[in-house]
Each structure stands twice: as C-alpha cells, then as structure tokens.
Chain A
Amino acid sequence: MHSYSDEPIPHPPIAVPLLRAQHLSKRFGGVHAVNRAAISVPQGSITGLIGPNGAGKTTLFQLLSCFLQPDEGEVWFDGHPIHTLQPHQVATRGLVRTFQVARALSRLSVLDNMLLAAQRQTGEQFWNVWLRSHQVAQEERQQRERAWELLERVGLAAKAQDYAGSLSGGQRKLLELARSLMVNPKLILLDEPAAGVNPTLINQICDHILTWNRQGITFLIIEHNMDVIMSLCDRVWVMAEGRNLADGTPAEIQQNDQVLAAYLGQ
C-alpha cells in the first residue's frame, strides 16, 4: 500500500515491470492533464487504472502508447525507453492500445480488420507485392487461419465477411479486443472495455481477458466499472487531477480514504 502525498515519488517494489513510467507530465495550454505521474505494470499481471472523470487516465494512456509526446518524464517498455518513438513503432514492439469508443474500420470486412493487425507482413511492402507474391499469399493464408480462430473464440466468425461498420457496439468491442490479439502483443492497454456494454457481454469480455492473461499477455485496463476492476486486477493504480493518488491491491484500494474522497468529490 502506497500513498503519494509527498514528492518525490518513491518506486514501489515490483518484480520485472514490463511497462514503467515515471515523472510523466503533459500540459495542454494551462491545464496539467498529467502531472508527474508514475505507473508500473508487472509482467503477466492485469493492472487497473482508475480515477474520477478528468483525472488524466486517457491522457496517460496516450503517453504510454506514444500517441502523445510527454513534456517530461520517461516510459520504459520491455527494458527499452519508448517515449521518443512513433505510435506504430510501439505496436511493432508488442504494446497495443484500444480506444475508449471502439473504433472499427467500417468499410473493411471484419476479417480484413483482423488481418490488418498482423505485424511484419511481407505484403505490406509495396515491392514485395510483386517480388515475393508467393510468400505474401502464403503468409496471408496463415494469418487468415489465425484470424478465424480468434474470431471464433470471441463469437464473431459468422460475421467475418460483413462490413465491420455493420456490427453492434458490443460486437465492435469484441472485434477490437480480438484485433489487438492479432498483433501478438506482450501488453494490451484497454481503455474502458466494459463501457456501454450489456452485463452478459461484460462477463464474456472479462473471461476473454482472463484467458488471454493466463496465456501470458499482460493487461493495463482503464475502467469505471468497479466490479470489473475488482474481479480482474492484481493491482490497481488510482489517479486524480493528473497525479497518482494511490496504488495497491483491489482490497486495499477499496479501504483507502483518499480514494473514496476523490471519487465522492471532497
């Protein structure tokens, strides 16, 4: 159990953090969206990130996935600093993010959405389409097989040939989840996977996350649904007004007065 009333920020004792960020700051004009925040995600864990609206959780996500450049601070992933990289380079290294509002590529088929996510495809290089057409076709067959497997797992196989834009909101969440799996990631950043989804589907999504976690994928999850956080997460980080407020096990966080105060707005 840790509280951050005083700076400098002490490092929590954690074995082999897969993702580690410290002193992260991002200002938009006069607003300190993220203010010297830190986070650490152990290898193989499901880590939660909670906080009231406007706490800077999504901005922190943008910083971690390099969609935004931090004003100060650094992000380390898998033993390398990544805060100077472009977003696509981060994905290639095995860190993939999803979006708060599920983003399907509407005018691509569900299957194409999946295939797009595969990394290091030979056929994505202009010249290889011509010079290595055989290898491209072969890879495409393999990826297709993998995509079908994942689609079947999340129950979207019947929709594989439909436009992704014709899916319902819940199905899009599932597609986005399956699509991030296609990347073969080490770490997935999930931005509110249960928002706007019916309870049955929430359970399904949680089951998928647990299954994939057992297969070795690490998760960092922003979520407002406390049941989801409490049932899934090994460790929870709390943010408020751009700063770290606390971190600990779900049980510890539930007892923390500061956290309760922040959520109740005192």
Chain B
Amino acid sequence: MEGFIVSLVIFTAIFTIFGLGLNLQWGFTGLINFGHVAFMTVGAYGTVLLSMAGVPLGLAMLAGAIAASLLGLGIGLATLRLREDYLAIVTIGLAEVIRLVAVNEEWLTRGTFGLQSFPLPLAMLNPNPIVRVAMVGTLAAVVGLAYWRLWGWMRHTARAIPRSDLVTHSLTALGYLLALGLLLLGIGAGARTLRQAAIWPNGVLGMVLLSALLGALWLGKGLSDRLSRRFRAWSTSLGLVMAALLAVLGVYAFGYAASAVYRYSNPSKSGLLWLSVLLTALIFWGLETLVRSPWGRVLKAIREDEAVAKALGKNVFIYKLQALMMGGFLAGIAGSLYAWQLTTVYPDNFRSLVTFNAWTIVVLGGAGSNVGTLLGATVFWAYDTITRFVLRDIVPLDDARLGAFRIMVIGLILIVLMMWRPQGILGNKDELTLGR
C-alpha cells in the first residue's frame, strides 16, 4: 500500500508540474500546444544523458529544462508570427519528430533499447535521523501550508450558505456522496461476483454492468437536481464536502508519504517523492505569483484579445515567446522527474497520449486555474492507478482491451463534464457566458 501511495503522489506531482506548464500556455495565454510532450522528452533525455556523462543531477535537470525552453523559443520564432492555428499544427508534428529522433539516433539515445541504470536523485543518500526529520518536516510544512489555504477557502465559501443551514446542508451532501459511493461499490462487487461465477457470457455481463453504471449516473444526477431545487446553496455545499473528503484522503496519503520518507527503506523512491513534492510546491507558488503580477495580466490580455494588448503598447510576440519557453521549462522539469520515476527511458514513454493526458488534466481542473490543474492531476492519477487494479476484477475484458477501455472511460468522463460542467471542476461558469 505504501509503495502504491508513494508512486501515486510522485506521478501526481510530475503531472501537476507538466499540466501547470500547459495551463500557463493555454489557460493563461491562449496558445494551443498539442505537442507538450516534446518538451518533456527533451527534458527527460537531456537530464538522463547529461547525468550519465557525469554531470551532477541538479545541473543536468536544469540543463534539460533549459533545452526544453529553448525548443519552445524555436517553435515560437517559427510560428508565432503566423495565425494561431499554425502553432497547434506545428506542435503536434514536432512532438512526433522529437520522438522519432529519440528512436533513430541510436548513438545518442540507444533508440528503442532505451536508457537504463542512470543516476537517480538522492538514491545514494543514507540520511541520519536529523536529516530524516528535516525532510519529513519540509513535507509537513508544504502540506500544512496547502491545508491552511484550503481552510481559508472553505471558510470563505461557507459564507455563501446561511449559518443555520450549514449543518443540514453539509450532512445532506455527505449522505448523498456516501450513498453514491456505496451504490458504485455495490455495482462493482456485484459485477465481480457475477464475473467469478461465470454464469453469463462476457457480452451480457458487460451490457448489464454498463446499464447499471448509466442507471447509477442517472439516479445521481436526478437526485442532485432535486436537491439543488430544495437547497439554495446545494452545489456550494457539495463542493465544500468534497473538499473536506479530499482533505481527509490527503492526510491519509500524507501519513504514508511521511513514513516512507522517514524510513527511507526504498531510497530512490523516497528521495524522489520528497524532491517532487517540494518542486511542485515551489513551482506552484512561483506561478501563482507570476499570474497575479502585471506580467500575468499581459498574458491574460493576450488570451482575450491580442489587438487590444498591442494597441495598449504590449509586445505580444515577446510575451507569447516567454509563455512558450516557461511552459517548456516546466515540462522539461517534469520530464526529468518522469525519467527518474520510471528509472528507464524509452521513446515509447513519450507518445502523443502523454500530451492529451496533460490536456485532460487541465480541462478537468478548469483552464486558467493553477489549483484546478493540481486537482485535475490528482483526480486523473487517482483514477488511473485505481482502475489499473480494480477494473481487472470487474470488467470482462482481457488486459490489452482493458487498457484501451480505461482511456475510453476518460474520454467519456470528459464528455459528461463538458455537458454538465463545461468550465471544469474549479473553473468559473460566469467566464463562459460573458459576451465578447
């Protein structure tokens, strides 16, 4: 269980950083980048190759990220003067080109054989108790800070609900969520029993499972609509309760993570866990500062209307370049961490699917919201890891098809989200309906 949680946290951290880069480019500046994985590839290969040549890891990571941002500079110089769709097309192509270079330049990347047994960060470390306590302490500080902010947000949000209704509202929301969870668990358990009993052919079982899920979804939606008519602040209280539940789960995960870092029994993972959480926090804070600064205001203005930004004296081209490079830099850092987490690097790790995972994360969380990207990454990886283990027992498909099925379900979730909550989990609905 510990290993599971640790790897979940690391993946979430990596894809938060990766998604934050895309969010800066698309959510804040309006640049459509369909080849985000290219930056990650450059970051990963750059870091690994340099560190294998003996460059210290920190420096190798920085160099990889800088190489990725220079790639951003190159694409920007080539396409940003053209209409915006060109960037989208060029980035798709570029990601494939970079991957194919990694496949074919065997003298450098060893092609499809991939790179193995390269240095990992903090893996050789055998920390004494004081260092361990310090590491756990920094983790706790980061998590504590996040919880303090969350608490502030919850208190602020709770003001929208009349004080006298707060208890009934949140209890109802809690009950609703628990009931929905239990219903889904029940469907899962039933399907598992039926699958093991093997009385029905797979096709029939699949149909039954699908209709049960659709039924549950319909029931949940219907009930929610009803409740929202009765309670004025229904969606707010639902959001609050979800945030609280997530916070409880977070404490649970933090417990495992802290114990993993303290015991340091699996050095490469423990060190990486500490490093990636710390980097995520640092990058998150940095981006929040940036997007609230006058610099971030110019980016948002460019997203809204380039011509106005130009008329008001902003050098739109330079700002777009900066956003592309900064997003590339972050993706490069995510690439280094990704390589260290996987401990092997193959060109196949960097297919276009990774880009679309980042898009899923950003859209899921709500474009233009850094907290949304964090939440999106958490939800995405929780879904990914949980279904990897759970679905095998429930869904009557072989492993290869199951993999495809899991991706299909993500698509389905996105479609449902676009229908019911097009602004994403944390997006602002008002922003969608504003007149241009």
Would you call A116 an interface residue if the criterion is a C-beta within 8 Å of the partner chain's C-beta atoms?
Answer: yes
Would you call B297 an interface residue if the criterion is a C-beta within 8 Å of the partner chain's C-beta atoms?
Answer: yes
Contact A126 B309, CB 8 Å, known A107-B434, A136-B293, A163-B431: no
A116 to B326, CA, bound (A): 21
A123 to B315, CA, bound (A): 14
Would you call B98 an interface residue if the criterion is a C-beta within 8 Å of the partner chain's C-beta atoms?
Answer: no
Query: Do B310 and A123 have beta carbons less than 8 Å apart?
Result: no
Would you call B156 an interface residue if the criterion is a C-beta within 8 Å of the partner chain's C-beta atoms?
Answer: no
Contact A91 B307, CB 8 Å, known A106-B435, A107-B434, A125-B295: no
Query: Do B322 and A126 have beta carbons less than 8 Å apart?
Result: yes
B296-309 interface bits toward A, Cβ cutoff 8 Å, 1 = contact, 0 = none: 01101101110111
Would you call B398 an interface residue if the criterion is a C-beta within 8 Å of the partner chain's C-beta atoms?
Answer: no
Q: Quick check: which of A6-14, A92-100, A251-259 contacts chain B, the rest being far away?
A: A92-100
Would you call A55 an interface residue if the criterion is a C-beta within 8 Å of the partner chain's C-beta atoms?
Answer: no
Distance of B36 from chain A, by nearest CB (Å): 21
Query: Do A124 and B305 have beta carbons less than 8 Å apart?
Result: no
Q: Is the interface of B mostly helix, strand, loop or mixed?
A: helix
Would you call A260 an interface residue if the criterion is a C-beta within 8 Å of the partner chain's C-beta atoms?
Answer: no
A125 to B315, CA, bound (A): 11
Query: Do B436 and A105 have beta carbons less than 8 Å apart?
Result: no
Q: Which of A86, A87, A106 interacts with B434 by CB under 8 Å?
A: A106
Query: Do B435 and A88 have beta carbons less than 8 Å apart?
Result: no
Would you call A71 an interface residue if the criterion is a C-beta within 8 Å of the partner chain's C-beta atoms?
Answer: no
* B310 partner residues in chain A, CB cutoff 8 A: 67, 86-88, 91
* A90 partner residues in chain B, CB cutoff 8 A: 313
Contact A67 B290, CB 8 Å, known A86-B315, A108-B301, A179-B312: no
* A123 partner residues in chain B, CB cutoff 8 A: 293-295
Query: Do B434 and A96 have beta carbons less than 8 Å apart?
Result: no
* A124 partner residues in chain B, CB cutoff 8 A: 294-295, 298, 314
* A103 partner residues in chain B, CB cutoff 8 A: 305, 307-308
Q: How extensive is the interface on chain B, given as a class?
A: 20 to 34
Distance of A21 from chain B, by nearest CB (Å): 18
Q: Is the interface of A mostly helix, strand, loop or mixed?
A: helix
Q: Which of B289, B294, B295, B300 interacts with A105 by CB under 8 Å?
A: B300
A41 to B298, CA, bound (A): 31
* A116 partner residues in chain B, CB cutoff 8 A: 297-298, 301, 309, 312, 314
Q: Which residue of B lies closest to A90 (CB)?
A: B313
Would you call A65 an interface residue if the criterion is a C-beta within 8 Å of the partner chain's C-beta atoms?
Answer: yes
Distance of B430 from chain A, by nearest CB (Å): 7
Query: Do B434 and A163 have beta carbons less than 8 Å apart?
Result: yes
Distance of A116 from chain B, by nearest CB (Å): 5
Would you call B316 an interface residue if the criterion is a C-beta within 8 Å of the partner chain's C-beta atoms?
Answer: yes
Would you call A78 an interface residue if the criterion is a C-beta within 8 Å of the partner chain's C-beta atoms?
Answer: no
Q: Which of B294, B305, B316 interacts with A88 by CB under 8 Å?
A: B316
Q: Which of A107, A115, A126, A183 interacts with B304 by CB under 8 Å?
A: A107
A129-163 interface bits toward B, Cβ cutoff 8 Å, 1 = contact, 0 = none: 11000001000100000000000000000000001
Query: Do B307 and A129 have beta carbons less than 8 Å apart?
Result: no
Would you call A117 an interface residue if the criterion is a C-beta within 8 Å of the partner chain's C-beta atoms?
Answer: yes
Would you call A112 an interface residue if the criterion is a C-beta within 8 Å of the partner chain's C-beta atoms?
Answer: yes
Q: Which residue of B lies closest to A101 (CB)?
A: B436
A117 to B312, CA, bound (A): 5
Would you call A52 an interface residue if the criterion is a C-beta within 8 Å of the partner chain's C-beta atoms?
Answer: no
Among A55-94, those with CB < 8 Å from B are 65, 67, 86-92
* B436 partner residues in chain A, CB cutoff 8 A: 106, 165
Would you call A249 an interface residue if the criterion is a C-beta within 8 Å of the partner chain's C-beta atoms?
Answer: no
Distance of B369 from chain A, by nearest CB (Å): 12
Would you call A119 an interface residue if the criterion is a C-beta within 8 Å of the partner chain's C-beta atoms?
Answer: yes
Query: Do A129 and B289 have beta carbons less than 8 Å apart?
Result: yes
A87 to B326, CA, bound (A): 25
Contact A165 B435, CB 8 Å, known A105-B305, A115-B294: yes
* B368 partner residues in chain A, CB cutoff 8 A: 107
* CB-CB nearest 5 A-B residue pairs: A165-B434, A91-B313, A123-B294, A105-B304, A87-B310
5 A-B contact pairs sorted by A residue (CB < 8 Å): A88-B312, A99-B311, A103-B307, A116-B309, A183-B312
Where the two chains meet, the residues of B that have a C-beta atom closer than 8 Å to any C-beta of A are: 289-290, 293-295, 297-298, 300-301, 303-305, 307-316, 322, 326, 368, 430-431, 434-436
Known: A91-B310, A105-B300, A179-B312. 12 other contacts (CB 8 A): A88-B310, A88-B316, A106-B431, A106-B434, A115-B294, A116-B297, A116-B314, A121-B294, A123-B294, A126-B326, A129-B289, A129-B294
